[in-house]
A and B are shown apart, each in its own frame.
Chain A
Amino acid sequence: MPKHIVRLVLIIVAALAVAAIAKPLLTVDSFYRFGHYRANSVPEIAAQEPVYQTPRYCYGCHTERRAQWSAGSHKTVICEVCHGPAQGHPQNGKLPIPTDTVRLCTQCHEAMPGRPKTQPQIQVAEHSGGQQCTVCHNPHSPKISAATAKVSGDAAAGKQRAAACASCHGAAGVSPNDTWPNLAEQSAPYLARILTAYQSGDQTDPIMTPLAKDLSAADIQNLAAYFAAASCKAEAGGKPVGDAAAGAALAKNCTACHGEGGRGGNPAWPKLVAQKPGYLINALKAFRAGLRKDPMMAGVSRGLSDSDIANLAAYYAAQSCQNSK
């Protein structure tokens, strides 16, 4: 074989040998373990910590919210969708409570071409007049219609049954006592809802609970129909201790649900017009203390002082119910 060919072959062999030595030395151990990649990068990627923690993490502490949320129509929307990822919470502080709910809620609920018909959608400009959504809707259980079941009772039959209520609430639903609420002209769906709540134990009262337990479903409907149709006579009941003028300013926050002057808006919620001030004070304090449970009222009553409550009660007590229907 010519000398130069031998040299060429030797050089090629040498190059191959160098490559054969260099490759295992330069390739990281795990590279060809499963294929043409570094196997150790898989556990590295898998080791990253999750940022979104899932509702199960949130339940650990927020049990009350869980019950409310999981029963409502927002149960498919996990906590972290609105409150942000929970990684580092609670150690690193609180998660945000959204303040601009109009913006947040319309992200899903603004009427928009392309959204499926099954998605509840609103015309933003017409729906609330710029009010925050949380004024009327509880974000953890937003459906309102559940509370406004239609009342189809017989007022005459209700009047018979109402005799048992007369000693506290007055024969015609106008209470003779500052502590017990007027029922005349109260919203019927609200009355039915509250009576059902006493019956089921969702709301408790030493006097009302046993009384409500004796009522049939038809009785509740009839009573609600009777009191809703009863005429409201604005009688001064007890001396309000608060300042009605100061209460008027505060009451602006209540009109979205309870109507102007407490004359009623959505029938799901009670009218407050000409209500007994003593009763209003007790009710607000009960909401504030968590003794009476309502997610919306718990939120709005939390920031009220004793004098705020007295002023609000004085304001509503002073309203004339003659204009309400």
Chain B
Amino acid sequence: MSKDSKPTLAARRAFLAKLGGAATCAGAAAGAVALGVMPSASAKTEAPATGASFPTKDYDWTKHQWGFGVDATKCIGCLRCVEACKAENDVPRNAHQFRTWVERYVHLEGDDEVHIDSQQDPVNIEAAGSEKTYRFANRYKDAKVYKAFFVPKLCNHCTHPACVQVCPTGATYRTEDGVVLIDHSYCIGCRYCVQACPYGARYFNEEKGVSDKCTWCYHRITKGLQPACVEVCPVGARIFGDQKDKQSPISLFIRNNRVQVLRPETGNAPNVFYVGIDKEVN
């Protein structure tokens, strides 16, 4: 740039110089203030008193590490869990948004392909009669079925959750007791997490404009109850409990069975343990 002596340019330079000076002063002052503010701000967030439990006064999350088991050999595909989950957690009553769902795997004789459907399959919606109730159509009644089984699915509450890693706002996180939750008031609805989950466990709730998924009924388990789907399962295909308690249903389930998790190669380290599933299930 040439040395121009136009008054406007000089004025601009003078203004910038002043601005710079002002900013420096402000910065120095702010730095000093910030040093004072920061510790006081963090002090405010300390636990109110030692011994007080979090998150509720009757429940201390450091004393639990929750886990979930699915015994697919017991599942009868009645979908009571799906309906209970919808009622318990105010999930939209339609046939494409679920916190938990059930898949059916069917091998037919002389057919290498596995046929997979869930309650959101159009044939099953028709059998249910509406999108508000759920039912598996008896579509393989007259087919030569070589092998068939049902598999309940839900959020795996991974130890290293990909969905949490991608969240830009800190709206989803893993609690101390091992549950992955969503803070709906911080969710901006970007749906990165929906994309990131390798299990398709998250859905986008258009009504609320936020992502949503299974919480293992956090409001129930912190009150000493079982998740709603576990409570209503008539055959005990869903098992829930505290992995820190070695006599809890989930600890016994893991100890007494050869369990597996879905897609271990992703490194998410799921906390839903399965018994009785084939390699096609993932």
Chains A and B bind each other: yes
Using a CB–CB cutoff of 8 Å, the interface residues on chain A facing chain B are: 7, 10-11, 13-14, 16-18, 20-21, 24, 29-39, 41-52, 54, 76-78, 80-81, 84-85, 107-108, 110-116, 119
Interface residues on B, range: 35 or more
Check if B98 is an interface residue, CB within 8 A of chain A. no
17 contacts across the A-B interface (CB closer than 8 A):
A7-B20, A18-B30, A32-B42, A35-B173, A42-B54, A42-B175, A43-B56, A46-B218, A50-B88, A52-B87, A54-B225, A76-B235, A80-B84, A114-B77, A114-B148, A116-B74, A119-B235
A150 to B134, CA, bound (A): 40
A52 to B83, CA, bound (A): 11
Closest to A3 in B: B17
A35 to B176, CA, bound (A): 10
A51 to B235, CA, bound (A): 21
Closest to B75 in A: A116
Count contacts between A and B, CB distance < 8 Å. Answer: 172
How far does the Cβ of A23 sit from chain B's closest Cβ, in whole Å?
Answer: 9
CB neighbours (8 Å) of A41 from chain B are 181, 183, 185-186
CB neighbours (8 Å) of B77 from chain A are 112, 114-115
A48 to B87, CA, bound (A): 13
CB pair A17 B56 closer than 8 Å: no
CB pair B30 A21 closer than 8 Å: yes
Say whether chain A's binding surface is mostly helix, strand, loop, or mixed.
loop
Check if B76 is an interface residue, CB within 8 A of chain A. yes
Known pairs A116-B74, A119-B235; A10 contacts B79 (CB<8 A):
no
CB pair A10 B27 closer than 8 Å: yes
How far does the Cβ of B216 sit from chain A's closest Cβ, in whole Å?
Answer: 11
CB neighbours (8 Å) of B215 from chain A are 45
Check if B231 is an interface residue, CB within 8 A of chain A. yes
CB neighbours (8 Å) of B45 from chain A are 29-33, 39
Known pairs A42-B54, A45-B181, A112-B77; A52 contacts B44 (CB<8 A):
no
